Structure 1
């Protein structure tokens, strides 16, 4: 039975209760972060805390605890739940009030929830076979750079992919891919350039994305931060996605069209290994 954290207490998951008047429940008025855990150690935790602070600030909220306090909770849950590999999920909402579109007073206590989830991140079947994707219109709101708990369209996109026998979806706006439903999107051109969209309000500033850009440049690869079209993706030599709970996953098919030769490409595989090597260096 998992132990979870709720508003200052460590409780059994079945005993964790949040009010029906919580603004996260009523309005999706909250921010979340997901940090990978490998060998019982948090990966890139400072980056996640920096993004948490930024996302909260963008919607007028403050950090519920300082970084050290949040780190202690993460480590407590990892130890208590004997988590070796997987993730820690953190969610902060604006708290509880009677239904009102206006924000509550600033002295309203926030709701803070954390829990662990076991998942194979390193030895993942999807990393070996690659993802099949579909493309769908990007119909989200215009602040996709904020890691809000309002993920309804991401859920819809994943359901659309499932209905077509695919693993996930890439979102397309104004003719260009913005990102995946829960990851950042990359292609590798026929002449070896790695292309991903530059940061803006249209996409999430992925922590894994940021680390991988540094690894790409260290590896001597040409990096292009710019929008790319579906046609460019169809014609690409390789494609892949990045996220904190997948690191780097190859994309082998998009809209029924094989990417490259239809199997994980060498540059993608090399970058995934570079990322894993970096993780091992951090924790050992």
Structure 2
């Protein structure tokens, strides 16, 4: 079934009929926040965790809104056929009727949501996953990366820089420390231990990142959340990145140099199996 039915300010309607004011602050200033929430068999995966992060972002940028998010999102998913869908939810501060930097707390926020299908990574298998090549570059984003803001122009420009260099992603460095990718979290493996940058305002703590650490703990794989310097990449046994839409991806080369032997590592294969089995069980309704 098509997933072109969207939600906009209280109405469910075809995407090509949805209209937002040209004076909406999300359009003019990226004055908005968002979430991406997977629904498996029509059920939101860790829905409350995502909504808690949404509430955190809304408080941080001082957008005031009271909405039945579970009700809105559940109905949108069902109207789009249920099943396994990823929901994008965006809330902007709204429109003041003109372009002005100042805002009024009484403005009505604009709420938009849409769906897209979730890929069954499990069905592909580890051998079919293409490993990434990445570059390492400066993190030029603002200092509140813990807020899931739609102000993603620095991310877009850095990703384009990576692609122009023939790479798939970029790992970002600020104040001598690795933070994350343009839209993914980072993992470095050395001697069987998973290392990942610790949570701070400089990174967005992804729900997929948290799931990987939970699966590691259940499997007895040690991990540490620590500061990581770029030079640590040089002698890493494996490097991974993760996101809610891509799962966990092995990094095979950094700045044109192979990671270890340039092949998918054994610990990644183990984590890929753990992660995709978990996702597949959600997609088939075996677990909720």
TM-score by length of 2: 0.90
Match of 2:69 in 1: 70
3-state secondary structure, aligned to 2:91: strand
C-alpha distance after superposition, 1:115-151 (max 9, x if no partner)? 0122425246997121111111101111111000100
Instruction: Report if aligned partners of 1:134, 1:168 keep a CA contact under 8 Å in 2.
Output: yes
Match of 1:192 in 2: 192
5 Å-filtered alignment, 1:78-117, equals 78-82=77-81, 84-97=83-96, 98-104=98-104, 106-117=105-116
Distance of 2:82 and 2:38 partners within structure 1: 11
Instruction: Report if aligned partners of 1:64, 1:110 keep a CA contact under 8 Å in 2.
Output: no
Task: Tell me the CA shift for residue 280 of structure 1.
Answer: 4.2
Task: Tell me the CA shift for residue 74 of structure 1.
Answer: 2.2
Match of 2:244 in 1: 244
Task: Tell me the CA shift for residue 152 of structure 1.
Answer: 0.3
Q: How many residues align?
A: 279
3-state secondary structure, aligned to 1:234: helix
Task: Tell me the CA shift for residue 54 of structure 1.
Answer: 0.7
Distance of 2:181 and 2:220 partners within structure 1: 26
Instruction: Report if aligned partners of 1:64, 1:92 keep a CA contact under 8 Å in 2.
Output: no
Match of 2:33 in 1: 31
Superposition CA RMSD, Å: 2.0
3-state secondary structure, aligned to 2:129: helix
Distance of 2:261 and 2:85 partners within structure 1: 31
3-state secondary structure, aligned to 2:64: coil
3-state secondary structure, aligned to 2:87: strand
Distance of 2:124 and 2:240 partners within structure 1: 15
Distance of 1:118 and 1:38 partners within structure 2: 10
Structure 1, unpaired ranges of 5+: none
Instruction: Report if aligned partners of 2:65, 2:109 keep a CA contact under 8 Å in 1.
Output: no
Structure 2, unpaired ranges of 5+: none
Change over 3 Å in CA distance of 1:9–1:27 after alignment to 2: same
Match of 1:50 in 2: 52
Determine if the alignment matches structure 1 residue 270 to structure 2 residue 270.
yes
5 Å-filtered alignment, 1:116-155, equals 116-122=115-121, 123=123, 128-155=129-156
Instruction: Report if aligned partners of 2:23, 2:99 keep a CA contact under 8 Å in 1.
Output: yes
- Please, which moves more after superposition, 115-124 or 166-175? 115-124
Instruction: Report if aligned partners of 2:63, 2:109 keep a CA contact under 8 Å in 1.
Output: no
Instruction: Report if aligned partners of 1:5, 1:115 keep a CA contact under 8 Å in 2.
Output: yes
Instruction: Report if aligned partners of 1:121, 1:246 keep a CA contact under 8 Å in 2.
Output: no
